[in-house]
């Protein structure tokens, strides 16, 4: 579906998407539009990571605001609230107001009433509902990101009760629930009286496998020779192979300390593959990182970036993340 064919959205949105390089919707996004997400229909989108869930939410929220409503975007973590606020700021040039709520109700309740799009954690929304924030009754669209956490033993009950209370207070409320890992999307869609988009489509094919015996063994039986050089770890060999194919690599580790250590170590592999132009661009990025703060973490991140690597964890400043 071409973005110029979108219905129910503000006139400026298709041109904005085109300016961002989006001409065609991904298949799951097109299915969401066909299911009525821009016309106020509730939706559960169970689609893989990087398959366009956020755009589905943006379509729903912008369409809802265009109809005179207010949209709420619920996230599980405060750090994510800041990131989403930064993403949605792009809509402010078209007259929308975007706010993020992570403080006490008394400090931001009245100000939030003036916003078109509000980003908050489920715990914060629960507090706002219990304190009878008046603007809650004006909500027309609620997006629940990472909605699979409704099954989480710690955060799940708060999210479930919050969504139930919001639907009770706003009978015509549109709920858009997003996740890449919902185990029972049909049941969740039934609970929310929502349409279901359940897709395994990805913009890039995902293959799973393990590395052993000087080769990568994929689950479909395919093998790819990948030798580990003397003194080299398997992770570095995989990164080297990916760089040869012109790609990038995301490495998961189990702690902040290990994330920083891995970035320093693996930068040795990346650095030798950098062009002069890439080195110049990375040096500029590193300078921006150092301007954020003079902490040890900031310097470690800048040093890694200069060499073509980076790390990400909860200890980074918000400006480091963006």
Q: What is the pLDDT of residue 197?
A: 95
Residue pair 129/119 in contact by the 8 Å Cβ criterion = no
What is the pLDDT of the chain when averaged over all its residues?
Answer: 90
Indicate if the pLDDT at residue 106 is higher than 50: no
3-198 folds as: Rossmann fold (3.40.50)
The DSSP output letter for 183 is: S
- Residue 151 confidence (pLDDT): 86
**Band of residue 108 on the pLDDT scale cut at 50, 70, 90:** low
**pLDDT, tens digit, for every residue of 52-97?**
999 999 999 999 999 999 999 999 888 788 889 889 999 999 999 9
Instruction: State the Cα–Cα distance between residues 24 and 17, nearest whole angstrom.
Output: 9
Confidence of residue 109 (pLDDT cuts 50, 70, 90): low
Residue 322: its pLDDT value, please? 66
Condensed to tens digits (0 to 9), the pLDDT of residues 32-52 reads 999 999 999 999 999 998 889
User: In the Cβ-directed half-sphere of 85, how many Cα atoms lie within 13 Å?
Assistant: 20
CATH of 209-321, one of 3.30.70.1900, 3.20.20.70, 3.40.50.300, 3.90.1150.10: 3.40.50.300
Residue 127 near residue 147 (C-beta atoms within 8 A): no
Please compute, for residue 251, the number of CA atoms within 13 A of its CA located in the half-sphere on the CB side: 24
Beta bridge partners of 273: none
Bridge partners of 178?
A: 45
Whole-model pTM above 0.85? no
pLDDT tens digits, 112-171: 888 999 999 988 999 889 888 888 999 999 999 999 988 888 888 999 999 999 999 999
Confidence band of 105 (pLDDT split at 50, 70, 90): very low
Q: Where are the domains of the chain?
A: 3-198, 209-321
Secondary structure of 217-261 in HEC code, one letter for each residue: EECCCCEEECCCCCCCCHHHHHHHHHHHCCCCCCCCCCCHHHHHH
Q: Please give the DSSP secondary-structure letter assigned to residue 24.
A: B
Tell me: pLDDT of 30 over 80. Answer: yes
Same CATH fold, 209-321 and 3-198?
Answer: yes
């Amino acid at each position: 579906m071409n973005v110029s064919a979108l219905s129910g959205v503000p006139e400026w949105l298709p041109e904005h998407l085109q300016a961002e390089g989006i001409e065609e919707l991904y298949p799951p996004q097109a299915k969401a539009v066909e299911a009525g997400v821009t016309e106020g229909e509730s939706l559960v989108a169970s689609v893989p990571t990087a398959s366009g869930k956020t755009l589905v939410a943006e379509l729903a929220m912008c369409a809802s605001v265009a109809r005179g409503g207010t949209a709420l975007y619920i996230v599980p973590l405060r750090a994510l609230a800041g990131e989403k606020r930064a993403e949605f700021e792009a809509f402010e040039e078209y007259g929308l107001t975007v706010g993020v709520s992570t403080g006490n109700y008394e400090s931001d309740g009245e100000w939030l009433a003036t916003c078109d799009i509000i980003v908050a954690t489920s715990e914060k929304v629960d507090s706002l509902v219990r304190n009878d924030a008046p603007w809650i009754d004006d909500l027309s669209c609620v997006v629940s990101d990472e909605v699979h956490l409704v099954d989480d033993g710690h955060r799940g009950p708060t999210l479930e009760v919050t969504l139930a209370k919001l639907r009770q207070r706003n009978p015509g409320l549109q709920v858009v629930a997003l996740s890449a890992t919902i185990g029972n999307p049909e049941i969740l869609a039934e609970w929310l009286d929502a349409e279901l988009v359940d897709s395994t489509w990805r913009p890039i094919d995902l293959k799973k496998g393990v590395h052993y015996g000087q080769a990568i063994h994929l689950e479909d039986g395919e093998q790819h020779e990948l030798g580990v050089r003397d003194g080299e770890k398997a992770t570095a060999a995989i990164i080297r192979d990916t760089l040869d194919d012109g790609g990038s690599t995301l490495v998961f580790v189990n702690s902040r300390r290990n994330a920083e250590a891995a970035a320093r170590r693996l930068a040795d592999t990346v650095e030798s593959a950098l062009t002069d132009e890439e080195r110049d661009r990375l040096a500029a990025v590193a300078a921006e990182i150092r301007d954020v703060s003079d902490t040890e973490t900031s310097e470690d991140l800048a040093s890694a970036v200069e060499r073509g690597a980076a790390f990400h964890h909860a200890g980074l400043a918000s400006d480091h993340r963006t």
